[in-house]
């Protein structure tokens, strides 16, 4: 009996803290990635907590949600915390930098890690989230060519990004803007507050630009003076796909599932698998400072056949095959 008690005391506890709720495809992809690794290592104890900061994000709610996580950490005493997406890094990760009793692994981080002080921390490592812009550009060019646009003739083809005003998107926009989009012309991004603003931006874009890029609309509000976000979120994407005069490329995991035509997104599965493997390595005694920070290497393609056909766009067989293989193909 004594041996069993000692063994249990020495078993590493791994706490996963998600910024968002598991009503979001991105979160479920990451959790699937965790499962693929953790199922092989059931000698470690894992626990999940969801801060739900995409559905609720008032200052008061953030304070309450942060307090819940701090109490959980104090009472459960995890050895390793995997922190997912930027909000939780800001609210939770920064509190435990260089804490001698806790090791931190980040995932889904869009900001530079210097923003959170992770670059100098001895107890932190993780995987960055970076949109696969090369693949997104190639997909945009494929869509425009399928429309009959002559890419080689150097037409003035413009791509415009439309998103909400969430911190997640605001952090990513400089990264988008620093990329070489040629032969496309990158236009100043548009961030909106309300669904009416979103509709206006989409309608105007159809008269000025050639293709729209979207990611997040989870924090598009009902009205300017309202704290309520549009729910369910597929209302936004379904309306956009139906009413946009020009094609739309999603860059978020759930864009096509929520009604979009085509999307190229970061693989949440990869984010989860890499972070989980780092946790296992640390549990076995490797120091976080000896595990290099890595960045996105994999991406996913999602396709909705009916939306492509409505715009009379051909689906390249390789796109269809990839989407079907990852269960991201929708009729």
Per-residue pLDDT at 122 exceeds 90: yes
**pTM of this structure:** 0.90
Q: Which of 5-9, 95-99, 210-214, 320-324 has the lowest average pLDDT?
A: 5-9
Per-residue pLDDT at 138 exceeds 50: yes
Mean pLDDT, rounded, for 65-92: 98
Cα diameter, the chain: 78
Q: What is the pLDDT of residue 115?
A: 96
Q: How far is CA 24 from CA 124, 214, 314, 317, in A?
A: 26, 16, 29, 28
Q: What is the pLDDT of residue 154?
A: 66
Give the pLDDT band (50/70/90) at residue 10. Answer: low
Instruction: Supply the mean pLDDT for the chain.
Output: 94
CA 231/CA 220 separation, integer angstroms: 9
pLDDT digits (tens, 9 = 90+) for 265-291: 999 999 999 999 999 999 999 999 999
Is residue 92 within 8 Å of 118, Cβ to Cβ? no
Is residue 246 within 8 Å of 211, Cβ to Cβ? yes
Per-residue pLDDT at 252 exceeds 60: yes
pLDDT digits (tens, 9 = 90+) for 25-76: 999 999 999 999 999 999 999 999 999 998 998 999 999 999 999 999 999 9
Give the pLDDT band (50/70/90) at residue 4. Answer: very low
Is residue 138 within 8 Å of 182, Cβ to Cβ? no
Per-residue pLDDT at 1 exceeds 80: no
Collapsing DSSP to helix, strand or coil, 239 comes out as helix
**CA 107 to mean position of chain CA atoms:** 10
Q: What is the pLDDT of residue 155?
A: 76
Is residue 30 within 8 Å of 268, Cβ to Cβ? yes
- Domains in the chain, ordered, with CATH? 2-128+268-290 (3.40.50.2300), 133-267+299-330 (3.40.50.2300)
């Amino acid at each position: 009996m004594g041996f069993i008690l000692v063994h249990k005391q020495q078993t590493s506890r791994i706490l996963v803290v998600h910024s968002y709720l598991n009503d979001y495809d991105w979160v479920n992809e990451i959790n699937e990635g965790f499962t693929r690794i953790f199922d092989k290592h059931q000698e470690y104890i894992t626990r999940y907590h969801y801060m739900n900061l995409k559905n609720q994000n008032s200052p008061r709610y953030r304070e309450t949600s942060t307090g819940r996580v701090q109490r959980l950490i104090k009472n459960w005493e995890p050895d390793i915390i995997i922190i997912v997406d930027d909000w939780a890094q800001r609210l939770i990760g920064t509190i435990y930098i260089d804490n001698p009793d806790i090791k931190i692994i980040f995932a889904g981080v869009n900001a530079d890690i210097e923003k959170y002080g992770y670059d100098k921390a001895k107890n932190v490592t993780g995987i960055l989230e970076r949109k696969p812009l090369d693949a997104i550009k190639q997909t945009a060019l494929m869509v425009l060519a399928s429309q009959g646009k002559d890419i080689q003739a150097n037409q003035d083809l413009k791509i415009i990004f439309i998103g909400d005003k969430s911190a997640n998107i605001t952090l990513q926009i400089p990264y988008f803007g620093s990329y070489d989009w040629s032969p496309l012309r990158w236009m100043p991004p548009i961030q909106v507050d309300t669904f009416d603003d979103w509709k206006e931006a989409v309608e105007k874009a159809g008269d000025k630009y050639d293709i729209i890029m979207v990611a997040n609309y989870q924090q598009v509000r009902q009205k300017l003076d309202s704290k309520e976000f549009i729910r369910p979120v597929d209302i936004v994407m379904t309306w956009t796909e139906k009413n946009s005069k020009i094609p739309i490329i999603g860059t978020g995991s759930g864009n096509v599932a929520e009604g979009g035509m085509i999307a190229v997104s970061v693989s949440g599965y990869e984010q989860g698998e890499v972070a989980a493997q780092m946790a296992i390595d640390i549990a076995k005694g490797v120091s976080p400072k000896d595990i290099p920070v890595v960045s996105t290497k994999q991406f996913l393609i999602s396709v909705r056949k009916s939306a492509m056909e409505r715009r009379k766009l051909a689906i390249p067989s390789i796109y269809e095959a990839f989407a079907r293989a990852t269960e991201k193909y929708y009729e």
